[in-house]
């Protein structure tokens, strides 16, 4: 049997990189993001901006739909609360320094990436551990 269905370190890393790219391509504090491209050059390459915005929207939809189907309402709430509380704890204990607005934005974006990555990983684990295939008609979102 092939190993492609196992959730190993590389599979989890892929599930972290996908939302990381999506979140930081949309906005980041370096000034090189979709947001900065649209705001700083409003009239240039309109069709390309609409295309790139559509790809980002599709990516957010894909991640959000996968998370919503796998985690359902309660699970999504638990993951968001746990991820946010964990980030708050790390900042409160000064394990992560938040000394500026830029640091705060980066911490919030990393929390969002963590929540998305856990949601994507749980979608895989849900079907592997429980032996349950999630179908569109049966979801409770």
- Give the other-Cβ count within 10 Å of 49's Cβ: 16
Contact in structure between 67 and 123 (CB atoms under 8 Å)? yes
Parse the chain into domains and list their residue ranges: 9-130
**DSSP label at residue 136:** G
Contact in structure between 38 and 49 (CB atoms under 8 Å)? yes
Predicted confidence pLDDT, tens digits, the chain (141 residues): 454 556 678 878 888 999 999 999 999 988 899 999 999 887 788 899 999 999 999 999 999 988 888 888 888 899 889 989 998 999 899 898 888 999 889 889 999 999 899 888 887 777 677 666 655 554 555
Report which of 124, 88, 92, 95 is spatially closest to residue 16, judged by C-alpha positions. 124
């Amino acid at each position: 049997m092939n190993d492609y269905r196992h959730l190993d370190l590389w599979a989890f890393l892929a599930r972290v990189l996908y939302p990381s790219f999506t979140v930081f391509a949309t906005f980041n504090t370096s000034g090189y993001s979709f947001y900065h491209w649209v705001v700083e050059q409003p009239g240039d390459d309109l069709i390309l901006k609409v295309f790139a915005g559509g790809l980002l929207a599709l990516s957010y939809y894909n991640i959000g739909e996968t998370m919503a189907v796998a985690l359902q309402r309660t699970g999504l709430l638990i993951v968001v609360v746990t991820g946010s509380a964990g980030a708050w704890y790390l900042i409160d204990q000064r394990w992560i320094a938040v000394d500026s607005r830029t640091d705060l934005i980066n911490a919030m974006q990393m929390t969002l990436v963590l929540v998305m990555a856990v949601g994507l990983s749980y979608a895989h684990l849900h079907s592997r551990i429980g032996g349950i295939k999630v179908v569109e008609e049966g979801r409770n979102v």
